[in-house]
Each structure stands twice: as structure tokens, then as C-alpha cells.
Amino acid sequence: MNHADFESELSAPAASPALWPLDPEIVFLNHGSFGSCPIAVLDRQTEYRRQLEREPVTFLVRELEGRLNSARAALSEYVGCDREDLVFVPNAITGVNTVLRSLSFAPGEEILVTDHEYNACRNALDFAAERSGAVPVVVPIPFPISSPDEIVERVMERVTSRSRLALIDHVTSQTGMILPVAELTRRLRERNVDVLVDGAHAPGMIPLNLSQLGAAYYTGNCHKWICAPKGAAFLYANRTHQAALRPLTISHGANSPRTDRSRFQIEFGWTGTGDPSAVLCVEDALRFMNRTMPGGWDAILRRNHALAVRARTLLCDALGVKPPCPEEMLGSMASIPIRDSVSTEPSKTPLYLDPWQDRLIEQYKIEVPIIPWPSPPKRLLRISAQLYNSVGQYQKLADALRDFAT
């Protein structure tokens, strides 16, 4: 089914907004930042918590490993890998930090990264490089861009004999583009460069088959497009690369005498007392979302992509700008350059609070991020498309932006 097949269906939500706990008075166009967890999945989380508190020792000591195995099995089937190659982490930033802080870099070794990398993960890379004497090599990627081939060319131009690792977004957070990670991974492996994919936005947005992808490491969030509760993410490692990885919190698994499972699973399976309900809900979220639309996950991905493309066209027409990247580089998000900011006040939070963003929520009841990128005063407006969204909401945003221009 192509975009045109969805056109008549985009005027209404594909699933009832009442399935999510979102404020009905707010036009919520920012699923990409934190997602939103459906009410039914939150109810399951509450039940897991009740079970835990009813008999904590039974839940955490006798039952938790089996429950986590079940959740990992469901997730690994969805993302296309063996269950034993995947562990849970709280978020993709933790996954990126885990890899970068586990690896030993020699002074002068190079770590490749694009200038579209999420700020928090870029900070983790800089920390690892500074501590070891490794050298960050930043690859500038144009935006607007005409083809994913440009990204492959620019990255490969910066590879040298000293290149050790590449940190590559699967879907860029600021610019909302799907990067050609399969081709990049193949080309980089030919040059003996391992790839760590920051897939924060990918699960539930685009199809995944991690075993076929061939990256050494891949981390992704489940709380965004899969719609699990906050605190649910995963880290995948190729079997040959698992021995080097250690959790950020060293715990009982470090000297466990167990031999019935890998050290990778033993160490990451228990890093201290916490609330495991979010990751246990991943299986519930996958099942719930699959039932929200005829055709299941395949239809969800196609519909959300079609809505994002349609919404971007509407907004570009309203603002008089050209689409900054091809449609095939979009998933369920799209970013559009807007007029430079005139504010010189630094944000009070690292999570992009722009005066226009405040005005949109306060005056128009529209929640949408405005992102300073590549650096102030330049900025982007980024929209997200989820099943509870419809074309009319983006039209309301377009009308508000026209008001800003007058």
C-alpha cells in the first residue's frame, strides 16, 4: 500500500485517541520525544507492580529472570535477532554509554560520528574519547540533502587506518532522517570499522532485522514508537562483541559462578534492585499496538509514514520552503527549517524550550518541538505522526505558523 492508498484515511486518527492518556485539549505532535504509553499497557504495568509488591522476593528472585526471558523473546522476534544477543537497558542513551565506556580505545584511534548525532550521545562519545586519548572525527552531513548516497560518501571519505568505531544514528533526532545504516555498516565493516547504531527512534517506526544488519552494537528505545512505558530500551550486541561489554553498574553477575548462560546475559540481567515493570510491558505493548490497526505493525509503519509525508508537504507549502530531504528518508517524523530565532536567552533545560514552542502550547494548545539546529539562531520544527494523529492537526499547526509570520 502506497501513500495514495492512505490519503482518504489520514483525515481521521487510525486508532482512537482515547486509547492513550493524552490530554484531549492538546494537539500532541511530539510522539518522537518521549512517546506516550497506551492506557491498557499502563494498566498492565500497574498489575506487574502490584505483583512485585505483593511478594517481592518471589517476583524478583524466583520469577524475574523467566519474565525477562519472555519479554526479550518477544522483542528479539520483532527486531530480528536471537534472544541471547539482546539485553534490556533503561534508554538508548544508556545503551550508547554502555558500549563507549566498555570499549578500550588506544590514543589516536578515531571514533566517527556525524554532526546530526543526538547531543547526549555525542557527549558520551566525547567523554570516552577524552578519557582514552581517542579522536572524535565529526562527519558533516548536509541538510537539506538530496540522497542518502551523499551520507555514505561523506562518512567513507573520513575513514582512515586509525578508524576504530562509528556511532551512527538510524533515525536522526534533530533532522528526522533515516540514515542508510545497512550500506554504511557493510562499507565500514569492509574497512574493519565496528558500528554502534543509535537506534533510539527506529523500533516501531521502521522495519528492523538486526541479525541481517550486521552492526556490532545496536541500541533502541521501546518507549517511543513501540509505546512501552518509560524506562524500556534494549542493547543488542553481535555474539563476537559481547565479551567486551559490561553494564554501567557492576553488580552480582561480575563474579557469578553460573555457566548456564552467557556472561553478557548474567551481568545485564541484574544490576541492582529496581522497577522492572517497564521492560516487562514491552511484550504487552508490541501485542497491543499490533491489534490497533488491520494489518498490524506493517500497516502501522506505512500509515504513520504516509501521514508524516502528507503533514510535511502541508507545512512546507504553508511556510514556502522546499522539503529538505527525500520522502524515502522519512519514517514517522519530519523536520522543517523555520525562521531564525531572535531570542538570545539560553534554554533552561537541555530539552529544547524555544519561545515559539512555548507560544504554540500556550496560545494554540499545540505541542511540537522546535529544535536549535545546527546551532542558534538556526532552528527546526519537527513533527511526529502516530495513530492518534490526523491531517487536520497539522493544518492547525500550519495556520498557527502563518499567524507567527504576520
* Cβ-based neighbours of 305, under 8 Å, separated by 6 or more: 3, 330, 331, 332, 385
Do 173 and 140 sit in the same domain of this protein? yes
Do 110 and 193 sit in the same domain of this protein? yes
Measured between its terminal Cα atoms, the distance across the chain in Å is 40
Q: With respect to residue 35, please indicate whether it lies within any of the assigned structural domains.
A: no
Query: Checking phi first, is residue 204 left (phi over 0); if not, alpha (psi -120 to 50) or beta?
Result: left
C-alpha cell at 343: 531570542
Q: How far, CA to CA in Å, does 15 sit from each of 30, 33, 64, 215, 301?
A: 17, 20, 33, 34, 13
Do 86 and 119 sit in the same domain of this protein? yes
* Cβ-based neighbours of 333, under 8 Å, separated by 6 or more: 32, 171, 176, 201, 205, 308, 382, 383, 384, 385
Q: With respect to residue 28, please indicate whether it lies within any of the assigned structural domains.
A: no
Listed residues 254, 270, 287: the one ending a domain: 287
Q: With respect to residue 85, please indicate whether it lies within any of the assigned structural domains.
A: yes
Measured CA to CA, the distance from residue 88 to residue 86 in angstroms comes to: 7
Do 113 and 243 sit in the same domain of this protein? yes
C-alpha cell at 364: 494554540
Q: With respect to residue 56, please indicate whether it lies within any of the assigned structural domains.
A: yes
Q: What are the DSSP E strand ranges found in 272-360?
A: 333-338
Looking at residue 210, which CATH number applies to its domain? Answer: 3.40.640.10
Measured CA to CA, the distance from residue 375 to residue 379 in angstroms comes to: 7
Name the residue among 32, 9, 13 with its Cα closest to residue 227. 32
Do 210 and 338 sit in the same domain of this protein? no
Domain that holds residue 331: 3-16+295-405
C-alpha cell at 372: 536549535
Do 280 and 346 sit in the same domain of this protein? no
Coil vs helix vs strand at 194: strand
Do 266 and 353 sit in the same domain of this protein? no
Q: With respect to residue 355, please indicate whether it lies within any of the assigned structural domains.
A: yes
Name the residue among 279, 303, 289 with its Cα closest to residue 222. 279
Do 219 and 280 sit in the same domain of this protein? yes
Do 390 and 243 sit in the same domain of this protein? no
Do 12 and 78 sit in the same domain of this protein? no
Tens place of pLDDT per residue across the chain (406 aa): 455 566 678 999 999 999 999 999 999 999 999 999 999 999 999 999 999 999 999 999 999 999 999 999 999 999 999 999 999 999 999 999 999 999 999 999 999 999 999 999 999 999 999 999 999 999 999 999 999 999 999 999 999 999 999 999 999 999 999 999 999 999 999 999 999 999 999 999 999 999 999 999 999 999 999 999 999 999 999 999 999 999 999 999 999 999 999 999 999 999 999 999 999 999 999 999 999 999 999 999 999 999 999 999 999 999 999 999 999 999 999 999 999 987 666 666 666 678 899 999 999 999 999 999 998 889 999 999 999 999 999 999 999 998 886 6
Listed residues 261, 287, 313: the one ending a domain: 287
Q: With respect to residue 34, please indicate whether it lies within any of the assigned structural domains.
A: no
Say how many domains are in the chain.
Answer: 2
